[in-house]
Chain A
Amino acid sequence: MTSRQRNTGIIAFLAAFIIFILPFVFTFFMAVKSRQEAALFLFTWPSEWHFWSNLVEVVQARNYMLLLAYFNSTIITVGAVALLVIFGAMVGYVLQRRPSGWNKLIYAGVLMGLMVPPAVVPTIWVLQGLGLFKTIHGMILIQVAYGLAFSVLLYRSFIATIPRDLDEAAIIDGAKPWAIFFKVILPLLKPVTVTLILVQSIAIFNDFTNPLYYLPGRENVTVQLTLFNFQSQFQSQFNLLFMNILLVTIPPLIVFVIFNRQIVAGMTAGAVKG
């Protein structure tokens, strides 16, 4: 290791530490302090540890609203990500494998979905017309609509790297299109699927504005909205506010740790010669 490499490494580590670790440590310290100590807003080691009592108080606040929020957010995230994976892969597959006159049109639609920013008021209007406003499944559909273009493009370009011979071998083996997709293609898409699950579930779980617009109502609260709702109540209780932040940050972190190792490319190695 040259001194230059070492210096670069040290600088990169320091930058990452300052940007990612310090705020987290600060949040954690604030979350375990007593109310008076937190009010001082200093980056100091807590003099008393109130981890458990703060935790219990945040969870119990407003009639266990945080638990309801976890429940709602989980349903929205799991539902939306599942649909994004299935539909993204299916549309990507058809777009890549079946050239037809419609493909150009569909592709243009997908690109528009990626580039044109959604308008909130007309969307609410449509949702109300469909009876989906203020419903969890309406929220799921909104997240799917916002994320589908990205996942279709991601899948389409990856499917282009899977040799067509595999589809044809499956056809000869007697597979119907449905079976080709689910038994041959979808398993080979695992690296993309993992990436997509990671990126989208974190984005959807952390989404604040969309639930704010499309999912008002006490019983529809999501985890990011709990912060917003608690802010007024916890104004003088920064320790609880930060405990709430801590709890909201943890699930995406867990998802990341679980899936991070599984993002492996090269699943198609060995399919064809070489």
Chain B
Amino acid sequence: MTSVKLKSVKKSFGAVDIIKGIDLTIEDGEFCVFVGPSGCGKSTLLRIISGLEEATEGTIEIDGRDVTGEEPSKRGIAMVFQSYALYPHLTVRENVGFGLSLAKLPKDVIRQKVDAAAEALQLTHLLDRKPKALSGGQRQRVAIGRAMVRDPKVFLLDEPLSNLDAALRAQMRIELTDLHRKLGATMIYVTHDQVEAMTMADKIVVLNSGRIEQVGSPMDLYNNPVSPFVAGFIGSPKMNLYDGPVAAAQGCKTYGIRPEHVVLSATNGTWKGSVRHVEHLGADTVVYLVVPEMGEIVVRVSGDFKAAHGDILWASPVAGREFRFN
């Protein structure tokens, strides 16, 4: 039973409050993703859980045990850094086994564990290389291997894929999800990429300037965002959000409709506008429509929809898919 519990955790650097009171429970074996814009305190929160940073207030429980004042190595956690942070002067084998050799485990035990981790991550043929002779994806896997051999109860990953190219990132997303399923360990994953959050998470925690905005499963957040912030953050392309008169006409403070929940018609509909720009993505087409009374509305339609710059089209929201925030 390895749950992670944060109780009113706060953190200030000098006079600046970065984390402003976080209460959160992450269940055993869960894949929990922290998302939020840059600078909202995701890394700081993760570092507080790891023990690299001390919370100004509040307590952290791992596995039902209060670890607030505990050293990082005693918390049963392992961390994968965004920069990988491999030891440049050590080989892959020594990098992965570094923690074990510090713990003075017998040599053959270390060897066995490192070999097992290397096997699982397809690193066996690279064990005698130094990090500088590895590709980005391989370094990434070494960093994960170094975390794995410690048999942590909780994995902490800080934007581990952000230095990889798009194709490799998609592949590593699947590999990480597989790894999570295989190990069954609790994982806390920081990203600012909503695609990673949606595709990998059991639970997403949306952070906004040091506060939790919403917690829930990916589809939960997609279907029932509690605020325009969450609504705008989850889903791609972004939800269309309107304040002011447009929202007032709908009887709310902010009115939102997702691009995929708008239908286009050449003849009739709710809003009339002219096409500013069309993006053909293959399966989908994204249409940017300028409607005089509300500004721009982004619409996602199927790939075979024909539209060109300057066309006059009607857009209508799908009933029951509109969001009204107060």
Contacts and interface: CB of A to CB of B under 8 A. Distances in A.
B79 interface: yes
A270 B50 CA distance: 24
Interface in A247-274: 267-273
B89 A187 contact: yes
A273 B161 CA distance: 11
Interface string B98-141: 11001100000000000000000000000000111110100100
Looking at chain A's contact residues, the main secondary structure is helix
Interface stretch (A135-143, A164-172, A205-213): A164-172
Given A272-B85, A273-B84, A169 B163 contact: no
Interface string A2-46: 000000000000000000000000000000000000000000000
Contacts of A188: 88-89
Interface in A218-270: 267-270
Given A168-B81, A170-B98, A173-B98, A270 B130 contact: yes
A100 to B, nearest CB: 15
B84 A172 contact: no
B272 interface: no
A271 B87 CA distance: 6
A172 B73 contact: yes
Interface in A144-185: 163, 165-166, 168-175, 179, 183-184
Contacts of B99: 172-174
Interface string B76-90: 011101011111110
A269 B102 contact: no
B52 interface: yes
A273 B79 contact: no
Contacts of A166: 85, 87
Contacts of A179: 102
Contact of B88 (A168, A175, A270, A273): A270
A166 B77 CA distance: 17
A271 B131 contact: yes
B150 interface: yes
A175 B90 CA distance: 15
B243 to A, nearest CB: 39
Contacts of A172: 50, 52, 72-73, 77-79, 99
B85 A270 contact: no
A179 to B, nearest CB: 6
A267 B85 contact: no
B146 interface: yes
B88 A174 contact: no
Interface in B256-292: none
Interface centre among A168, A171, A187, A270 (most CB of B within 10 A): A270
A267 B130 CA distance: 11
Given A171-B73, A173-B150, A174-B99, A267 B88 contact: yes
Nearest to B158: A165
Contacts of B83: 163, 165, 271-273
A173 B50 contact: no
B82 to A, nearest CB: 8
Max chain A CB contacts within 10 Å: which of B79, B85, B133? B85
A91 to B, nearest CB: 22
A175 to B, nearest CB: 6
Contacts of A168: 52, 79, 81, 85
A53 to B, nearest CB: 50
A49 B250 CA distance: 109
Contact of A174 (B81, B89, B103, B136): B103
A173 B102 contact: yes
Contacts of A170: 87, 98
A186 to B, nearest CB: 10
Q: Which of A168, A173, A268 has the most CB of B within 10 A?
A: A173
A170 B1 CA distance: 27
B72 A169 contact: no
Nearest to B132: A270
Contact of A169 (B71, B85, B89): B85
A270 B146 CA distance: 16
A214 B98 CA distance: 47
Interface of B: 50, 52, 71-73, 77-79, 81, 83-89, 98-99, 102-103, 130-134, 136, 139, 146, 150, 163
10 contacts: A165-B81, A169-B79, A171-B71, A172-B52, A172-B72, A173-B150, A269-B132, A270-B86, A270-B130, A271-B83
Interface of A: 163, 165-166, 168-175, 179, 183-184, 187-188, 190, 267-273
Given A172-B50, A190-B89, 11 more contacts: A163-B83, A169-B86, A172-B72, A174-B73, A179-B102, A270-B86, A270-B88, A270-B130, A270-B133, A273-B84, A273-B139
